Amino acid sequence: MTADLPLLVLFAGVFALLAAATVVTEAVAQRRPGPVTQNLRARVAAWWVMVVLLALAFAFGRTGVVMLFALVSFAALREVFTLTVRGTADHLALAAGFFVVLPAQYVLVWTDWYGLYSILIPVYAFLFLPVISALRGGPAGFLDRVAETQWALMLCVYCISHVPALLYLAIPGFEGRGVLLIAWLIFTVQFSDVMQYVWGKLAGRRPVAPALSPSKTWEGFLGGIATAAAAGTGLWWLTPFGPLQAGLLALMVTVMGACGGLVLSAVKRDRGVKDWGHLIGGHGGVIDRLDSVIFAAPLFFHVVRWMWSTT
């Protein structure tokens, strides 16, 4: 059995959801025009584009998926470095991050060299990029600078590359269907983001971290996580997991996703920006949309690898 039929069913479902969201949003926008509904329309429109892009990448198989996430990493790294860059001493180190570390990480994922891609950035980039900065500039803010560069690479390249890495897990009885793991992960985590937004808007009262973000509330968190975990459980038939296992994993990835949103909000607040960028209309930057996936993907990858994969 291939991944085609379940994938078609999932995408048909997502397109139906988006069509419903479009109809509802347009109706609301007609009745109550304003900045909130305008933003909502932009968000829904951007979702259409993102889902179609993902479907296209899936259609091109492993190479398409690896390429898509390499480009996503590139755009994400561009956003973080924009906020952290200072002075010219680090110029070459940042260029190496873009043009050596990022391609190397994705080539290693593409060739399934797990032993190296899981340590390339935590060990080798960690040791060598500061050497370039040290050779080229003074000590002012040195620790801050190299720490920010390392953080950016971990977030934008290392963590995100664990999404396409899911394609290469060898799960008995699930051969050739790794793309379904990606579809399930992204759907569950992103659905949690959407439902946190919806629950927060409808019932949000108590902020989780008032100093970081007034729009993140316990009601939104718990409602979003519960709804999305239930949806992830209901989609167990896409995955190699049983319903209970799918439920526990969905709980794990949605909680991690919420943590990612919180941590990256703190970074934005520290830098005095509202969004990471402007690439995705209504949502902000690439990282605004992927903060949850960044935190959920590595953990999901390792748990599935330990418990289901033979590699």
Partner 1 sequence: MLRRAAAVVAGEAIALFARFVTAPRAIWSGVAPESVQRVYFANHSSNGDFVLLWTVLPPHLRARTRPVAAADYWLVSPLRRFVGRDVFDAVLIDRRPEARSEDPVAQMVTALDEGASLIMFPEGRRNSGDVPLLPFKTGLFHVATARPGVDLVPVWIGNLNKVLPRGEVIPVPLVCTVVFGAPIRLMPGEERDHFLARARGALMALSEVGT
Q: Which residues bind partner 1 (CB under 8 A)?
A: 74-75, 77-79, 81-82, 85, 88, 91-92, 94-95, 98-99, 277-279
Q: Judged by CB, which is closer to partner 1: 69, or 81?
A: 81
Q: Judged by CB, which is closer to partner 1: 185, or 279?
A: 279
HEC string of 232-270? HHHCHHHCCCCHHHHHHHHHHHHHHHHHHHHHHHHHHHH
Copy the structure tokens of residue 64.
Answer: 């398409």
Q: Judged by CB, which is closer to partner 1: 29, or 75?
A: 75
Nearby residues of 129 by Cβ (< 8 Å), 6 or more positions away: 93, 96, 97, 101, 146, 149, 150, 153
Q: How far is the CB of 298 from partner 1 (least distance, A)?
A: 24
Contact 199, 101 (CB under 8 A): no
Q: How far is the CB of 16 from partner 1 (least distance, A)?
A: 32
Contact 266, 219 (CB under 8 A): no
274 CB-contact burial (10 Å; exposed 0-12 / middle 13-18 / buried 19+) = exposed
Q: How far is the CB of 91 from partner 1 (least distance, A)?
A: 5
Q: How far is the CB of 226 from partner 1 (least distance, A)?
A: 36
Q: Provide the CB-side half-sphere exposure for 210 (13 A, CA).
A: 3
| Entry field: residues in the chain | 311
Q: Judged by CB, which is closer to partner 1: 145, or 177?
A: 145
Q: Judged by CB, which is closer to partner 1: 88, or 311?
A: 88
Q: How far is the CB of 75 from partner 1 (least distance, A)?
A: 7
Q: How far is the CB of 278 from partner 1 (least distance, A)?
A: 5
Q: Judged by CB, which is closer to partner 1: 73, or 233?
A: 73
